[in-house]
Structure 1
């Protein structure tokens, strides 16, 4: 069965809370999901994610990442990303994982993803160390629940 939903864990585990998305998809491996859901740890492989988005035609993509919005550390949020127009400068940054850079790469590959949601978490620590801060660690299960809820809503 072709995956209708792609869940993309994004982040660098060597930069503290930037590993949030990677940890969320790791924990999702213990959750029973429908067969039409594909969960992938992309880490820092932005070009790989862009290629998958351009080639596969998923109905829904859920990116999971640590993203600074100015909220309290550990705050989890869901944001729908605008895929109608690229705002990023044309560049090929194979390790750039910011959602706008990835979506721009998809455009450069000649496609446009359908619906893209970001399940984000406000980081506390983004320095050269492994492991999540206590605030972000506590937010991982919240994010797992949010992703599972988005998948259930999409399937219904």
Structure 2
């Protein structure tokens, strides 16, 4: 297996509405040309269980996790948490994975950042109702999350992403 210097992982399950945010961000990022030392992965719902298989502290210098979490902000708000802020219980995703504890264990070896989006509808552990598609608020947060990720890895696609965001806003305004 080849390891990358920078690993970006989208966590979440698209079958549970806004929980599909992480994979949706990765899907959009796959359309970008990124440096060869960057690997982007759709970790899906299983990310907490296998994300660490893609990391080698000898090679991997930066890990960015994209996920949703309730941090008491307006829906679609994007926040960033550095590994230095991570401690057990620092954030709880809707399915309460134990990945935060594992992230805490590697944060001294690998520079870790978590990019979070506030869901529009609370998703609770054990929810079984399938709800495809992101809410409008979370969908519109994708370009901002990508900008945050790109800034973290030192890549500037600002103009292109701003144009995409403006286009979404214009379409949303016309739909109203």
Shorter-normalised TM range: 0.7 to 0.9
1:152 CA drift (Å): 1.0
- 2:135 maps to what in 1? 133
- 1:115 maps to what in 2? 111
- 1:47 maps to what in 2? 49
Distance 1:145 1:39 in 2: 15
SS at match of 2:141: helix
- 1:91 maps to what in 2? none
Structure 1's unaligned 5+ residue stretches are 89-94
RMSD, aligned α-carbons: 2.7
Q: Kindly indicate whether the alpha-carbon contact (under 8 Å) linking 1:61 and 1:115 is maintained by their aligned counterparts in 2.
A: yes
Structure 2's unaligned 5+ residue stretches are 90-94, 156-176
Structure 1 residues 42 and 102: alpha-carbon distance in aligned structure 2, compared to 1, 3 A threshold: farther
1:58 CA drift (Å): 1.3
SS at match of 1:22: helix
1:55 CA drift (Å): 6.5
1:7-156 → structure 2 map (5 Å cutoff): 7-45=8-46, 46-53=48-55, 57-82=59-84, 87=88, 97=97, 99-103=99-103, 113-125=109-121, 126=123, 128=129, 129-152=131-154
| Per-residue CA distance 1:32-82 (angstroms, 9 max, x = gap) | 110000000011122211232367741110000011110111001111024
Large movers: runs of 4+ above 3 Å: 53-57, 95-99
Mark the structure with the bigger radius of gyration.
Answer: 2
Indicate the larger mover: 67-76 or 54-63: 54-63
Distance 2:72 2:29 in 1: 27
Structure 1 residues 36 and 147: alpha-carbon distance in aligned structure 2, compared to 1, 3 A threshold: same
- 1:92 maps to what in 2? none
SS at match of 2:49: helix
SS at match of 1:64: strand
Aligned length: 142
Distance 1:31 1:20 in 2: 18
| Per-residue CA distance 1:92-147 (angstroms, 9 max, x = gap) | xxx8645414426x66xxx9641110111001123630110000000011111111
